[in-house]
Amino acid sequence: MSDFQDALSAAFALVAGQDPALAEIVGLSLRVSLMALALAALVGLPLGALLAVARFPGRHLIIVGMNALMGLPPVVAGLVIYLLLSRAGPFGHFGLLFTPSAMVIAQAVLIAPILAALTREVLEGMWEEYREQLHSFGVSSWRAVPTLLRDGRLALVTVLLAGFGRASAEVGAVMVVGGNIEGFTRVMTTAIALETSKGDLPLALGLGMVLMAIVLAVNGAAHLLRERVARMSG
Amino acid sequence: MNAPLRALRSGRRALPAALAALLSPPVAAQRRAIILASTTSTEQTGLFGHILPIFTRQAGIVVRVVALGTGQALDVGRRGDADVVLVHDRAAEERFVAEGFGGPRRPVMYNDFVLVGPADDPAGIGGNADIAFALAQIAAARARFVSRGDRSGTHAAELRLWLAAGVDPARGRGTWYREVGQGMGPALNTAAAQNAYLIADRGSWIAFRNRQGMRVLVEGDRRLLNQYGVMLVSPQRHPHVRAADGQRFVDWITSAEGQGAIAGFRIGGEQLFFPNATEPGA
């Protein structure tokens, strides 16, 4: 048990000490994951909605492929993006490798399929209810997409949280494409991996507790937001 | 008007504004910076944390360290994804230079490898001065041995030592010889958990916290020397390499000042790296 007590006191020391390095790492973690979430949402939500309403040949293939991509191992995604962004790769001249932007791209690639697949699930149910009505007003399936996204926004908050959770918990991809550079691309998860490999297990676990607290806070905030929106529109 | 239609009208402006706000460009202003591909032993001991701020203060150049195994670090240099490489496998470094990916190679510093093992020392090698003999004993006793197995400088050194011992450790795969394919830290954690022997660089060993009773059993054999070298990645091969700033770092770390900074890095009073940039043939 003493391991966990050590970790707990390490976590408190980290937070109470207001370590500027920790604040920087936490800030970068949040910034990278939120930007990845935004980027993935721009693609994932409309795509999911489209798959919920539209019927076209190959739709099932896309759905199956998307569901499979939900299980994409982060380190594989990281490796592919590494090769694409490397100076020797096709997008090398942008110089994005080992920068926070590369980490945003990696996380966005990982969570976009999750957002799309879950959005489709959520909206398909709604679509069953809305279809008759919208069609009777002469609204086409395609134009119903924004409506569904707006009316399903409460359920979509949960979808976004699932994406954020995976993004902020991810280590394999951001380690490969970010390089875990101190003060530049080091985030919570890569810092935890680093302390683990240095054998400082209490500090690693302490950092893990800080990460959990942050994820908890984000979820709590989202929950409050949902409640509020639900009351206002209810 | 019914709910779906009303939503259709106002839905257009909902999401995009909030998302656009989040997508503002990452991180502060552009600074003069180079990327240094190096090894876990130099980064995780805290050496860079000690010497790089000194360089940055003087030169106004930030050094961004990507810590990998030596083989991987050289590959990052080959692809042009780093400006400078600082690693510890002379044969691999000379190959890198010969292939035209960078150089010339300059010696920087050395320390040594140590054979670490469980306190009860099941193969009975403690205090042995001959590393090759000690390894042969481990193989004969089929005592558990953890190998980095990751083409790192330490892995290359370990394989050279097995060769000197006249043992092919690959034959112990699946039984006593365990390749973890990871960095020094994870390998040390694994050895600690499995009561196994392993070869570690002394710097990583000194900085390692989770020892679980492991101790140094063999040290001081001259074949355990661990030499580090530094190279600028070739700007001819990769035109985007920040050659001037990278060269400035190479010159600094091999200068009297950089060498003094290396010698000044200590953990618990113990010096971890010994500068030797001026030593011929190092």
Give me the CATH number covering residue B144: 3.40.190.10
Give the pLDDT score at B10: 46
Among B19, B40, B67, beta carbon nearest to A42: B19
Q: What is the nearest CA distance from B101 to chain A, expressed in angstroms? A: 13
Residue B188 lies in a domain: yes
A45 contacts chain B (CB < 8 A): yes
A146 contacts chain B (CB < 8 A): yes
CA–CA dist A62, A48 (Å, integer) = 10
Cis ω for the linkage preceding B25 (within 30 of 0): no
Chain B CB contacts of A34 under 8 Å are 22
Q: Which residues of B touch A (CB under 8 A)?
A: 2-5, 7-8, 10-12, 14-15, 19, 22-23, 26-27, 35, 40, 44, 49, 64-67, 78-81, 182-186, 188-189, 192, 207-211, 238, 240
Chain A CB contacts of B185 under 8 Å are 196-199
A197 contacts chain B (CB < 8 A): yes
Find the closest chain A residue to B20 by CA distance.
A38
Of B37, B50, B71, nearest to B275 (Cα)?
B50
Give the pLDDT score at A140: 79
A105 contacts chain B (CB < 8 A): no
Q: What is the nearest CA distance from A194 to chain B, expressed in angstroms? A: 8
Chain B CB contacts of A184 under 8 Å are 27, 64
Using CA atoms, how far residue B103 sits from A67, A229, B94, in Å, is: 48, 62, 9
Residue A15 lies in a domain: no
Is the sign of the CA dihedral B240, B243, B244, B246 positive or negative? Answer: positive
Q: Which of A128-137, A172-181, A212-221 has the lowest mean pLDDT?
A: A128-137
**Which residues in chain B show pLDDT less than 70?**
1-30
Looking at the structure of chain A, the number of domains it has is: 1
Tell me if B12 and A146 make a contact (CB, 8 A cut-off). Answer: yes
Domain that holds residue B219: 111-224
CA–CA dist B257, B49 (Å, integer) = 16
Give the pLDDT score at B6: 47
Report phi then psi at B87, rounded to 5. -140, -175
Of A176, A173, A177, A178, nearest to A25 (Cα)?
A178
Same domain, yes or no: B238 and B103:
yes
- Give the mean pLDDT of A175-179: 95
With contact defined as beta carbons under 8 Å apart, do B231 and B105 qualify? yes
Residue A69 lies in a domain: yes
Same domain, yes or no: B215 and B154:
yes
Band (A7; pLDDT cuts 50, 70, 90) = confident
Tell me if B27 and A184 make a contact (CB, 8 A cut-off). Answer: yes
Give the pLDDT score at B3: 46
CA–CA dist B139, A119 (Å, integer) = 57
Residue A3 lies in a domain: no
Q: Which amino acid would we find at residue A195?
A: E
Give the pLDDT score at A232: 77
* DSSP secondary structure code for residue B197 in this structure: B
A189 contacts chain B (CB < 8 A): no
A54 contacts chain B (CB < 8 A): no
**Residues across chain B:** 282
Same domain, yes or no: B205 and B149:
yes
Same domain, yes or no: B171 and B73:
no
Same domain, yes or no: B141 and B217:
yes
DSSP B62-83: EEEEEEE-HHHHHHHHHTT--S
CA–CA dist B89, B107 (Å, integer) = 11
Residue A11 lies in a domain: no
CA–CA dist B282, B276 (Å, integer) = 7
Instruction: Give the number of beta-carbon pairs within 8 Å between A and B.
Output: 120
Residue A105 lies in a domain: yes
Q: Which of these three, B224, B245, B266, is where a domain ends?
A: B224
Q: Which of these three, B184, B209, B224, is where a domain ends?
A: B224
CA–CA dist B236, A23 (Å, integer) = 40
With contact defined as beta carbons under 8 Å apart, do B109 and B93 qualify? no
Tell me if B67 and A180 make a contact (CB, 8 A cut-off). Answer: yes
Tell me if A87 and B44 make a contact (CB, 8 A cut-off). Answer: no
Same domain, yes or no: B58 and B135:
no
Tell me if A93 and B240 make a contact (CB, 8 A cut-off). Answer: yes
Q: Which amino acid would we find at residue A53?
A: V
Tokens representing B113 are: 């490898």
A220 contacts chain B (CB < 8 A): no
CA–CA dist B77, A118 (Å, integer) = 41
Parallel/antiparallel/unpaired status of strands B106-117 and B215-218: antiparallel
| Res A22 pLDDT > 90 | no
Q: What is the nearest CA distance from A162 to chain B, expressed in angstroms? A: 17
Same domain, yes or no: B255 and B153:
no
Residue B203 lies in a domain: yes
- Coil, strand or helix: which one is B84? strand
Of A211, A178, A205, A176, nearest to A78 (Cα)?
A176
Cis ω for the linkage preceding B122 (within 30 of 0): no
Extended strands (E) in A61-207? none
Same domain, yes or no: B206 and B121:
yes
Q: Which of these three, B224, B239, B261, is where a domain ends?
A: B224
A184 contacts chain B (CB < 8 A): yes
Interface test with chain A among B2, B5, B8, by most A beta carbons within 10 Å: B8
Extended strands (E) in chain B? 33-39, 62-68, 84-87, 106-117, 145-147, 177-179, 198-201, 215-218, 225-232, 266-267, 270-271, 274-275
CA–CA dist A151, A141 (Å, integer) = 15
Average per-residue pLDDT for chain A: 89
| B197, HSE (Cβ side, Cα atoms, 13 Å) | 29
Among B4, B67, B185, beta carbon nearest to A199: B185
Domain that holds residue A73: 20-233
Residue A126 lies in a domain: yes
Give me the CATH number covering residue A189: 1.10.3720.10
Find the closest chain A residue to B238 by CA distance.
A87
CB atoms within 10 A of CB B203: 26
Q: What is the nearest CA distance from B279 to chain A, expressed in angstroms? A: 31
Residue B10 lies in a domain: no
CA–CA dist B97, B104 (Å, integer) = 7
pLDDT, one tens digit per residue, over A178-223 is: 999 999 999 999 999 998 888 888 888 888 988 999 889 988 988 8
| CB-based burial label for A3 (10 Å; 0-12, 13-18, 19+) | exposed
CA–CA dist A46, B22 (Å, integer) = 18
Looking at the structure of chain B, the number of domains it has is: 2
Same domain, yes or no: B88 and B165:
no
- Residues near A169 by Cβ (< 8 Å), separated by ≥ 6? A189, A211, A215
With contact defined as beta carbons under 8 Å apart, do A49 and A119 qualify? yes
Residue B94 lies in a domain: yes
Among B4, B10, B44, beta carbon nearest to A134: B4
Residue B9 lies in a domain: no
